[in-house]
Amino acid sequence: MIGDVDSVALASGRFTPMLNPELLGFTCIACAAEFPIADYFEGCPHCLAYGAPASLRPRIASEPSILADARQLRMQRYAHWLPYQSWVTLGEGGTSCVSLPALAGEGSVKAVYIKNEGQNPSGSHKDRVSCLTVTRALDAGYGQIVAASSGNGGASLALYAAAAGLDCCIVSTPSLSPIFRQAIEMTGAELLTVTDSLERWALIADMAREQHWFPATNYLNPPVGSNHFGLPGLATVAFEIFEELHGRDLDAVLVPTSRGDLIWGLYVGFSQLQRLGHIAQLPRLFAVEPYPRIKRVLEGEPVTGSFPGTTAMASIGGSTVTLQAVHAVRATGGAAIVVDEHSVRRDQARLARHGCYAELSSAASLTGLECLVAEGKLSSSDTAVLIATSNGYKDLATAGASA
């Protein structure tokens, strides 16, 4: 199993990142400009010049003809789709996607599946990005990596940086839960706290531009998606959902969303499945958010606007929108759903009573499902997947006291 071989090699100082030989470079998701293989921490240089940052996606010479390598396990099964073919692995991916018939009955839909990303090594979907991002940092010759985080991303990156032997710095705000603080500091990473989200980005910009830190996350305002070597890892969530549904039709995926790395990754993954002929049409992707941001952009406001709000759902907080999130929703005929906190708290307990203990932000996907049914956008003939992005053990008993 390649993943285990890599772990041994890494521990003994012999790990060698291996780029995908089919990788030609990267393409802008907005203007379609093409760039050679390199680091573009601020996204597409052309779009940036116009004040509208846009993410880059990998350009592969010839797309693979098979979905998965059956000899491998977990995320490594899909390595031929990713910028790196071997990476610093802690066993990410391979999370369960299970049907909860009783929940489907309550929700008046045909079937509901929970994709439980809380089963990843650090307990969230962020591990699928962190493994590739730290690998890129190593390959590009960096000894230190930095990221802005409200919790899950920081805990994930700190863990993978530790395994890779990289110095790590996580920049957060005073509202960071002590559970995440402990998880980050336990790895030996440095945790810096600044006043607010936008100040985090200014600090990371300075560290990236002046002090040779590898930035794993956005530091622009308006923002761009996370690192373009790491982001493609999220397409594997779509691959796994497809495989676990065994070809059954899928109508909707509900995704707790902030800046849209995950919903973009799902869009890319399902698009690749469609090109392979595995699915006839893309499932609708629904971004679930705690206050209107993507929703306002879909209604006509500029994506570069500011959309402030407060919420206890820290993992999907923030005041900004990315182009990638809007693209993913529009291209699949989905929508943005705004959910209220009281209902999400109720649904966190409801989910647990059905067998999935997920963090508060993850439960927003169940609340979003109820909204879609109430609005007539999903019916008794539809199958939906709810993405549980993170584990419930990360929530404090007093969660909700801070924004």
Residues that bind Zn ion (CB under 5 A): 28, 30-31, 33, 44, 46-47, 54
What's the closest the beta carbon of residue 228 comes to Zn ion, in angstroms?
12
Between β-strands 56-60 and 335-338, what pairing exists: parallel, antiparallel or unpaired?
unpaired
Closer residue to Zn ion (CB): 31 or 374: 31
Instruction: Report the sign of the C-alpha dihedral through residues 181, 147, 241, 332, in that order.
Output: positive
Closer residue to Zn ion (CB): 28 or 183: 28
What's the closest the beta carbon of residue 33 comes to Zn ion, in angstroms?
5
What's the closest the beta carbon of residue 41 comes to Zn ion, in angstroms?
15
What's the closest the beta carbon of residue 22 comes to Zn ion, in angstroms?
22
Closer residue to Zn ion (CB): 46 or 377: 46
Closer residue to Zn ion (CB): 85 or 304: 304
Closer residue to Zn ion (CB): 33 or 179: 33
With CA atoms as reference, report the closest residue to 10 among 90, 120, 94, 128: 90
What's the closest the beta carbon of residue 29 comes to Zn ion, in angstroms?
8
What's the closest the beta carbon of residue 264 comes to Zn ion, in angstroms?
15
What's the closest the beta carbon of residue 323 comes to Zn ion, in angstroms?
9
What's the closest the beta carbon of residue 45 comes to Zn ion, in angstroms?
8
Q: What is the 3-state secondary structure (H, E, C) of the chain?
A: CHHHHHHHHHHCCCCCCEECCCEEEEEECCCCCEEECCCCCCCCHHHHHCCCCCCEEEEECCCCCCCCCCCCCHHHHHHHHCCEEECCCCCCCCCCEEECHHHHHHHCCCEEEEEEHHHCCCCECCHHHHHHHHHHHHHCCCCEEEEECCCHHHHHHHHHHHHHCCEEEEEECCCCCHHHHHHHHHCCCEEEECCCHHHHHHHHHHHHHHCCCEECCCCCCCCCCCCCCCHHHHHHHHHHHHHHHCCCCCCEEEEECCCCHHHHHHHHHHHHHHHCCCCCCCCEEEEEECCCCHHHHHCCCCCCCCCCCCCCCHHHCCCCCCHHHHHHHHHHCCEEEECCHHHHHHHHHHHHHHCCCECHHHHHHHHHHHHHHHCCCCCCCCEEEEEECEEHHHCCCCCCCCC
Closer residue to Zn ion (CB): 26 or 242: 26
What's the closest the beta carbon of residue 166 comes to Zn ion, in angstroms?
29
Closer residue to Zn ion (CB): 28 or 303: 28
Closer residue to Zn ion (CB): 28 or 163: 28
Closer residue to Zn ion (CB): 44 or 138: 44
